[in-house]
Structure 1
Amino acid sequence: TEEEMDDLLDLEPVPQTPVFDMGTDTRTEGDAATLTVTPVGLQERRGSNVSLTLDMCTPGCTEPYGYGAQLSPRDQSAQEYLRQGTHILTPAMLHTRAMDDQSLQAEFYETPMNFVDPKEYNYPGLVRKNRYKTILPNTHSRVILQSQDEEDFLTTYINANYLKGYDDEERAYIATQGPTVNTVGDFWRMVWQERCPIIVMITNLEEKNEKCAEYWPEDTVTHEGIEIAVVTVTQEDDYSLRVFTLKCGEEERSLRQYWYTSWPDQKTPDKAPPLLELVQEVERAREEAPPSSGPTIVHCSAGIGRTGCFIATSVLCKQLRTEGVVDILRTTCQLRLDRGGMIQTCEQYQFVHHVLSLYEKQLSHTAEE
Structure 2
Amino acid sequence: MTRRLSSSTRSQTEDSVFLKPDEDPIWLDDPPMTDGDPSQPRDGPPGLDEPPGPGTGPPGPQGHQEELWRDKFYTIVMGMHWCAVFCTISQITGYWAFFLVDGNGLFSAFYKSLQLLDFYLGVLLSFNPVFGVDSLCVMAEVEKTNHYWVLQATEGIGMAIIVFMIIRTVCKLEYGDAGWSAATVAVADHGDRRQSVSRQPSFTLSEWTDAQEDLMDLEAEPQTPIFDLGLDTRTEGDITTLSVTPVGLQERRGSNVSLTLDMCSPGCTEPYGYGAQLSPRDQTAKEYLREGTNTLTPSQLHTRAIDDQALQAEFYETPMNFVDPKEYNYPGLVRKNRYKTILPNAHSRVILRTADEEEFLSTYINANYLQGYGGEERAYIATQGPTVNTVGDFWRMVWQERCPIIVMITNLEEKNEKCAEYWPEDSVTHEGIEIKVVTVTQEDDYSLRVFTLKFDGEERSLRQYWYTSWPDQKTPDKAPPLLELVEEVEQARAEAPPTSGPVIVHCSAGIGRTGCFIATSILCKQLRSEGVVDILRTTCQLRLDRGGMIQTGEQYQFVHHVLSLYEKQLSHIVEE
Structure-2 residue corresponding to 1:246: 453
Q: Provide the secondary structure at the position in 1 that maps to 2:469.
A: coil
Q: Is 1:303 paired with 2:510?
A: yes
Structure-2 residue corresponding to 1:24: none
* Aligned partner letter, 1:195: R
Structure-2 residue corresponding to 1:56: 270
Deviation at 1:12, TM superposition (A): 9.1
Deviation at 1:42, TM superposition (A): 1.4
* Aligned partner letter, 1:199: I
Q: Provide the secondary structure at the position in 2 that maps to 1:78.
A: helix
Deviation at 1:249, TM superposition (A): 1.1
Deviation at 1:136, TM superposition (A): 0.1
* Aligned partner letter, 1:188: W
Which of 379, 387, 410 does residue 172 from structure 1 map onto? Answer: 379
TM alignment of 1:185-224, pairs within 5 A: 185-224=392-431
CA contact (8 A) 2:348 2:545 kept: yes
Identical amino acids, percent of aligned pairs: 80
Q: Provide the secondary structure at the position in 2 that maps to 1:292.
A: coil
Deviation at 1:57, TM superposition (A): 3.5
Deviation at 1:200, TM superposition (A): 0.1
Task: Give the direction of change, closer, same or farther, for the CA distance of 1:133–1:265 in structure 2 (3 Å limit).
Answer: closer
Q: Provide the secondary structure at the position in 2 that maps to 1:151.
A: coil
CA contact (8 A) 2:395 2:430 kept: yes
CA contact (8 A) 2:33 2:260 kept: no
* Aligned partner letter, 1:306: R
Q: Is 1:42 paired with 2:257?
A: yes
Deviation at 1:143, TM superposition (A): 0.2
CA contact (8 A) 1:13 1:132 kept: no
* Aligned partner letter, 1:367: V
Q: Provide the secondary structure at the position in 2 that maps to 1:243.
A: strand
CA contact (8 A) 1:176 1:297 kept: yes
Q: Provide the secondary structure at the position in 1 that maps to 2:505.
A: strand
Equivalent pairs counted in the alignment come to 338
Structure-2 residue corresponding to 1:340: 547
Q: Is 1:127 paired with 2:341?
A: no
TM alignment of 1:250-261, pairs within 5 A: 250-261=457-468
TM alignment of 1:310-329, pairs within 5 A: 310-329=517-536
* Aligned partner letter, 1:42: V
Task: Give the direction of change, closer, same or farther, for the CA distance of 1:7–1:286 in structure 2 (3 Å limit).
Answer: farther
Deviations 1:118-142 (A, max 9, x none): 0110100000000001000000000
Q: TM-score normalised to the size of structure 2?
A: 0.55
* Aligned partner letter, 2:516: C
Which of 115, 128, 140 does residue 322 from structure 2 map onto? Answer: 115
CA contact (8 A) 1:13 1:302 kept: no
Deviations 1:49-106 (A, max 9, x none): xx9xx94248xx99x84xxxx4211111010000000000000010111111100000
Q: Provide the secondary structure at the position in 2 that maps to 1:181.
A: coil
Q: Provide the secondary structure at the position in 1 that maps to 2:282.
A: helix
Q: TM-score normalised to the size of structure 1?
A: 0.85
* Aligned partner letter, 1:321: R
Whole-angstrom distance in 2 between the partners of 1:330 and 1:248: 40
Q: Provide the secondary structure at the position in 2 that maps to 1:115.
A: coil
Please identify the structure whose Cα radius of gyration is greater: 2
CA contact (8 A) 1:279 1:314 kept: yes
* Aligned partner letter, 2:484: E
Q: Provide the secondary structure at the position in 2 that maps to 1:56.
A: coil
Whole-angstrom distance in 2 between the partners of 1:12 and 1:359: 38
- Relative contact order, CA 8 A, sep 6+: which one is greater? 1
Task: Give the direction of change, closer, same or farther, for the CA distance of 1:247–1:300 in structure 2 (3 Å limit).
Answer: same
Q: CA RMSD in A?
A: 3.0
Task: Give the direction of change, closer, same or farther, for the CA distance of 1:266–1:140 in structure 2 (3 Å limit).
Answer: closer
CA contact (8 A) 1:173 1:297 kept: yes
CA contact (8 A) 1:269 1:355 kept: no
Deviation at 1:31, TM superposition (A): 5.3
Structure-1 residue corresponding to 2:364: 157
Structure-1 residue corresponding to 2:278: 71
Whole-angstrom distance in 1 between the partners of 2:566 and 2:409: 20
Deviation at 1:203, TM superposition (A): 0.1
Deviation at 1:207, TM superposition (A): 0.1
Q: Is 1:289 paired with 2:496?
A: yes
Whole-angstrom distance in 2 between the partners of 1:96 and 1:153: 49
- Segments of 4+ in structure 1 off by > 3 A? 3-8, 11-14, 27-33, 265-270
Whole-angstrom distance in 1 between the partners of 2:528 and 2:369: 24
Task: Give the direction of change, closer, same or farther, for the CA distance of 1:41–1:135 in structure 2 (3 Å limit).
Answer: closer
